Amino acid sequence: MSAAAAPAAAATVKEPREILRVENLVKHFPITAGMFLSREVGSVRAVDGVSFELNEGETLGLVGESGSGKSTTGRLVLRLLEPTSGSVQFDGQDVLALEEAKLRALRGKMQIIFQDPYGALNPRKTVLETVAEPLLIHGRRWGPELHARVRELLELVGLASYHADRYPHEFSGGQRQRIGIARALALNPRFIVCDEPVSALDVSIQAQIVNLLQDLQEELGLTYLFIAHDLGVVKHISTRVAVMYLGRIVEIADKAELYARPLHPYTRALLSAIPVPRPGAGRERVILQGEVPSPINPPSGCHFHTRCPFAVAECRAVDPPLREVAPGHKAACHLVQPQTAQEGPRGP
């Protein structure tokens, strides 16, 4: 290649295109009491100010303990739940401001794969009826073309076309999840929330489904929000990883950066719990004391300070912002400063 051709080739490289932006997303579920449950006595702070962005074609892994708000965040992004406050921008559209008709049109671009492959499928409907349902809702008619589309989707996810005439109880857990994936793909979406799609499956089947999701992403140009509690699975599939604790994101970074240099004490504790082939081979186990506080009455300041071995007075009084401490690496911790980001918090 000539020297003159080199800049032209470099110019063809596409910049990452942002497809989703979430800002200060909040969801508080009211707690009611009294006659007819008419009096609000408190609220569950399920999601408490979550912000992140997602580029087209990438996978953001969302991890954390049960009850941290991961699944609620995914449902809020799709507006399956109405948020208390915040902003969700999908491909330049304000999802939370859309009227019902426009929101329904947007549904074709945003889909979800549910956690439970058994509970996500109607046992009274055949696979053909299940996968065809979103197409029918969006105006398609029964006929040879619809049947052909369903069979095409089944083959795309690794099932045979004759499976269309069977019922969910005739399939294994992994096959049922493939049916759920086919249903999510029916309307040619661009963005899919994967809500713990492999947590109910055997380990060997988990690998097959994760590989399928990656193949589909490459073939169809999909963007994923991948919700999970298994950090090993998240490491395999994700481009970037966000860690949630008690309704908030405490750390977010590229996958390689986060797994190599976790900065927040909670992230370090989570990563230390990943099983390794040789226990004790160079990894220090971090044992957290105490229980996760109640989202009804979260601690003041940093929500993690009640379990953090490094907590100081500032942690108990001031809520740390999620700020960039290294290029592309954000953490919400008073003890992690930009100049010391490579090391993270140290003990007293």
Q: Distance between CA atoms of 286 and 289, rounded to whole angstroms? A: 10
Beta strand 223-227 pairing with 93-94: unpaired
CB 247 within 8 Å of CB 69 = yes
CB 106 within 8 Å of CB 283 = no
pTM of the model: 0.89
Q: Distance between CA atoms of 250 and 258, rounded to whole angstroms? A: 12
* Of 38-47, 168-177, 205-214, the least confident: 38-47
pLDDT, tens only, 32-71: 887 777 777 888 999 999 999 999 999 999 999 888 999 9
Q: Distance between CA atoms of 270 and 99, rounded to whole angstroms? A: 40
CB 51 within 8 Å of CB 43 = no
Judge whether residue 343 has pLDDT over 70: no
Sheet with 93-94, edge to edge strand ranges: 39-55, 18-33, 85-90, 93-94
**Beta carbons within 10 angstroms of residue 245's beta carbon:** 25
pLDDT, tens only, 115-154: 888 888 999 999 999 999 999 988 788 888 999 999 999 9
Length of the chain: 348
Task: End-to-end CA distance of the chain: give it in Å, rounded.
Answer: 58
Q: How confident is the model at residue 257 (pLDDT cuts 50, 70, 90)?
A: very high
CB 57 within 8 Å of CB 18 = no
pLDDT of residue 1: 47
